[in-house]
């Protein structure tokens, strides 16, 4: 039974560990550090393990929805807070904790600011222990429950693009509405959504995923040399560096609230849909989502999200088998994984 008061050190560790587990998505390091710093300035966010909760306690997921490369994205602290307020006002039950939708540089920190402002703890049971592209993949297989009613509140955008909304209904349709709102808000919205019991989280969430990110970040930050940082990550996650080379070609398209594209590191082809989906070398598949594929700047060792990749940059590519990750039940749902194939034009489900 554990309740951890989060501090400056855990912010650093969670952001860098989360960046690696983002697998090319999950937001930007600078945003994660900024959100974590702000959370510590306004209050004392806490992280609570599931065994410190009652099975009947209700947790709501807090997330960012949108495209990391969108140029006009904007979500501030008051908007993140307002999503929790709006959800709490409209949800018929009582919310007693917050969870994040996934691990990522920014998303691992999801809920820390809201925890500081509301006093609600962050529960260490993220909807996924790595980052993923669609809301359905972070829905804990609630899409498989025909009677489940999804409650979602969203806010984001600046000036005339500022939007705040609450929706309820079937999870697929409410998630589509939120994704559309992110586009209208300039590319990103903060969301509080899908209240669910701790009992359900124990069976479907990536329990312990935040502490895994913190431990990974701690190991990464202890190393000073670029190659040592990447190698310690590979060792910690039981993965391997599959390529060190130069980006020969990269394409990125931001559309419908997603970043999609292809990267060639010499003769290694990477496809991404926010997160990296496939790695192929001379036609041989090296890794397939939900395996973790992650890029690092080979000269500095810094994790690089897919939206940061540029031609002629020297990068290292890490691949980690899914068996070494803490994953949600959705990551073995073939119906959800199948949706990736139409986007990246590659086989995902075998």
Instruction: Say if CB 130 and CB 108 are below 8 A apart.
Output: no
Q: For residue 279, what is the domain's CATH number?
A: 2.40.390.10
Q: What is the pTM assigned to this prediction?
A: 0.91
- Within this chain, do residues 167 and 256 fall inside the same structural domain, yes or no? no
Calculate the alpha carbon distances from 325 to 169, 328, 330 in Å: 32, 10, 13
Tens digit of each residue's pLDDT (9 = 90 or more) over 43-77: 999 999 999 999 999 999 998 887 666 778 898 88
- Within this chain, do residues 203 and 233 fall inside the same structural domain, yes or no? no
In a domain, 221, yes or no: no
Number of domains in the chain: 2
In a domain, 216, yes or no: no
- Within this chain, do residues 153 and 293 fall inside the same structural domain, yes or no? no
Tens digit of each residue's pLDDT (9 = 90 or more) over 70-121: 778 898 889 999 999 999 999 999 999 999 999 999 999 999 999 999 999 9
- Within this chain, do residues 179 and 288 fall inside the same structural domain, yes or no? no
Can you give the residue range of the structural domain that contains 292? 226-344
Could you give phi then psi for residue 328, rounded to 5 degrees? -75, 160
Tens digit of each residue's pLDDT (9 = 90 or more) over 8-33: 999 999 999 999 999 999 989 999 99
The contacts of residue 240 (CB under 8 Å, 6+ apart) are: 234, 318, 319
Could you give phi then psi for residue 330, rounded to 5 degrees? -65, -25
In a domain, 71, yes or no: yes
């Amino acid at each position: 039974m554990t309740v951890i008061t989060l501090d400056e050190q855990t912010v650093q560790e969670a952001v860098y560990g989360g960046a690696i587990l983002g697998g090319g998505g999950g937001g930007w390091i600078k945003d994660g550090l900024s959100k974590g710093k702000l959370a510590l300035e306004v209050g004392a966010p806490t992280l609570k393990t599931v065994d410190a909760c009652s099975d009947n306690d209700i947790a709501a997921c807090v997330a960012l929805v949108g495209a990391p490369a969108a140029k006009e994205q904007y979500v501030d602290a008051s908007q993140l807070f307002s999503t929790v307020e709006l959800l709490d006002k409209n949800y018929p039950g009582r919310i007693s904790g917050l969870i994040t939708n996934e691990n990522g540089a920014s998303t691992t920190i999801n809920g820390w600011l809201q925890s500081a402002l509301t006093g609600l703890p962050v529960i260490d049971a993220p909807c996924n222990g790595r980052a993923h592209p669609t809301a359905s993949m972070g829905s804990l297989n609630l899409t498989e429950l025909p009677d489940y009613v999804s409650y979602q509140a969203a806010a984001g955008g600046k000036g005339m693009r500022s939007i705040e909304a609450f929706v309820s209904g079937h999870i697929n349709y409410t998630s589509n509405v939120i994704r559309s709102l992110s586009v209208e808000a300039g590319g990103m919205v903060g969301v509080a959504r899908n209240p669910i019991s701790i009992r359900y989280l124990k069976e479907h969430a990536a329990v312990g995923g935040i502490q895994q990110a913190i431990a990974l970040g701690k190991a990464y930050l202890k190393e000073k040399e670029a190659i040592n940082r990447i190698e310690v990550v590979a060792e910690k996650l039981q993965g391997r560096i599959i390529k060190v080379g130069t980006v020969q070609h990269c394409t990125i398209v931001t559309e419908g609230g997603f970043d999609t594209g292809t990267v060639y590191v010499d003769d290694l082809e990477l496809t991404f849909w926010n997160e990296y989906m496939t790695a192929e070398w001379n036609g041989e598949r090296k890794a397939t989502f939900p395996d973790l594929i992650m890029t690092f700047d080979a000269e500095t060792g810094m994790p690089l999200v897919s939206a940061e990749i540029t031609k002629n940059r020297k990068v290292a590519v890490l691949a980690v088998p899914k068996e070494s990750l803490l994953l949600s039940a959705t990551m073995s749902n073939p119906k959800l994984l199948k949706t990736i194939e139409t986007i990246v034009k590659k086989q995902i489900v075998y």
